[in-house]
Amino acid sequence: MTVRTRMAPSPTGEYHVGHIATLLKNYALAKKHGGSFILRIEDTDQERQVEGAVEKILSVIKAYGLDWDEGPIKGGPFAPYVQSERLDLYQKYAQSLVTQGAAYHCFCSKQRLEELRTNQVAQKTRPRYDRQCLHLTPAEVGAKLAAGQSSVIRLKVPWGQVVSFNDLIRGQINFQSEDVDDQVLLKSDGYPTYHLAVVVDDHLMEISHVLRGEEWISSTPKHILLYQAFGWQPPIYAHIPVFLNPDGKGKMSKRKGTVSAQSFLDQGYLPEAMLNFFMILGWTPADQREILSLDEYIQEFDPARISPKSVVFDLKKLAWLNGIYIRRLPITQLAQRLQPFLPADFPKDKLESILPLVAERLTTLSEIENLTEFFYREITVQAQDLIGKQSTQIVKLQLQTTVAALENLADWSVVSLETAIRQLQEQADWKKRDYFMLLRIAVTGKTATPPLFETMMVLNKPLVLSRLQLALTCLQ
Ligand code: GLU
C-alpha cells in the first residue's frame, strides 16, 4: 500500500502548536514509508474564514522546517488542493447519494430547526434532525425544487447498525448508528459541510492514513457512514490526544498562555527543538532516548506507540531541549539565527566575541538582549551591592588598587587580566569571593554573568576602567 497522509487546515485562525505536532506525525509516517504528505486547505466554512490565514499557515509550516509533497502552490496529481475550488465535485457526489436514496433534500427553515432544537433540549433529548423531509414524496421534492425552494442535502443514516473503526492508537471504537444525526452534506449555498468534503477529498486524493486530533473522534462515525454510502474504503484512523496546559490542568488553551505555533518561534525557540519536543510528547522511541533528529524520528515513528493519554505541554522540558539545540549550533550559525532578536543598539561587530560568553546560558534566542545588554548599555550599581559583606573602606581600597593596576596593564588579554587581578587579591589577602563579586558587579551591574576575565576583555579597557571609577563614585 502506498502511504499517503495529509493535513487539512481550515483557515479560520492561527495555526496552533497542536496542529504542527499532528502535521509532524502525518509527515513522518508518509516519509517513513516512502509515501507522500499532502496539504489541503479546508475553506468551506466561508463565515469563519480569516483573511490572510492560508498564507500564514503555509509560512509557519515552512518556518518549522516542514514541507508538503502535494498541495497549495506546489499542485500535484489531485489538484486543486483548496476545497473552495472543488465545489462542483462535492455537489456531484452529494447528488449521487440522493439519486441512490442514501441522502435526501431537506427544506426545513432555520427557524423550524431552531424550535426543534429548543424543544429537544427542554425535553432533555439529544438534539437531532427529526427527519420530517425524509418523508416527502419524490413528487413533492421535485415540486419544491422546481419552485426554487432553498434546500440542503442530508445523509440518511441507516439505523440499527454498529459503526466501528479500528483506531491505531485506541483500538476498536464502536458507535450505534441511530446516535448519529442525519448530518447536512451540502448547504443551501452549494458549499459542502466539512463531513462531506473531508470524505470526498480523502477518498479522491487516495489518503491511506488520517492522523488527527482526538476532537474528531465523534465525527468519525459520520465519515464511516459516508464511506459506506459511497461504497468506498475508509482510511486508517489514529486520533491523537490533545496537549494539556503547562500547569497540567485542562486542554491547552489561549487563556493560559500562547498556543500559536508562530509565537513560539517569535519567542526564540528553535524550530528543530520544537519538533523534537513534539516528537517526544506522548511518544518515545524503543530505546527511550529524548534527543532525535527529524530523520531519526522518521525512521522510528510508529503511530501505534503514541500514548492515548493527553500530555502536558511541559515548558520546562521545552526550555531544556531548546538550550541543548542552541548549544549545538556553531557560533556563526547561532549568530545568524540571533539576527532578528538583536536589539538595534547591539554592537554587531562584537557579536562573535560576546556570543561564546553567553551561549551556555541562552535557553531561548530572545534572552540575548537581557544577557548581553551590559556589554553595550549603561549600567547602574548600588553601593550596598558593591559593599556586600565587606566594609566600605576595604571596597574603596580594592577598587582604587584595581584601577591603578589595570591602567598600567599593557596587554589587555584574558591571561594578563587574570594574572594581574589574582596577584592583587593574593598580595592583599582579600577574600577571593567578595573581591571577585565586587568586580563582577562593578563592571556588569549583575551578580550572575559570563566568566569575569573574558567579560572584562570583551568590554575593553576604557569601559572597564570607567565602570570601576563609577563604582568608586557610588561609594562617596
Ligand atoms: N479541517 C479540519 C481542521 O481544521 C480537518 C480535520 C481532519 O483532519 O479531518 O482541523
List the domains of the chain with CATH numbers: 86-240 (3.40.50.620), 339-376 (no CATH), 383-474 (1.10.10.350)
Q: Which atom of ligand 1 is nearest to the CA of 212?
A: 8
User: Which of 406, 425, 400 shows the shortest CA–CA distance to 476?
Assistant: 400
Residue 159 Cα, ligand 1 centroid: separation in angstroms? Answer: 26
| pLDDT at res. 19 | 97
Cα(66)–Cα(62) distance, integer angstroms = 5
| pLDDT at res. 254 | 87
Backbone phi, psi, residue 331, to 5°: -55, -40
| pLDDT at res. 423 | 97
User: Which of 5, 43, 10, 48 shows the shortest CA–CA distance to 24?
Assistant: 5
| pLDDT at res. 272 | 98
Q: Which CA distances in Å does 372 have to 260, 341, 355, 365, 392?
A: 28, 12, 9, 12, 29
| pLDDT at res. 286 | 87
Residue in this structure with the C-alpha cell 462515525, named with its chain if needed? 221
Residues classed as catalytic = 254
Mean pLDDT by runs of 10 across the 476 residues of the chain is 96 95 98 98 93 97 98 98 98 98 98 97 95 97 97 97 97 97 97 98 98 97 98 98 94 89 98 98 92 97 95 96 97 96 96 94 96 97 96 97 97 97 98 97 96 97 97 94
| pLDDT at res. 476 | 85
Q: Which atom of ligand 1 is nearest to the CA of 42?
A: 1
Give yes or no for residue 222 CB within 6 A of ligand 1: no
Give yes or no for residue 320 CB within 6 A of ligand 1: no
Backbone phi, psi, residue 238, to 5°: -140, 120
pTM of the model: 0.92
| pLDDT at res. 256 | 84
Give yes or no for residue 43 CB within 6 A of ligand 1: no
| pLDDT at res. 263 | 97
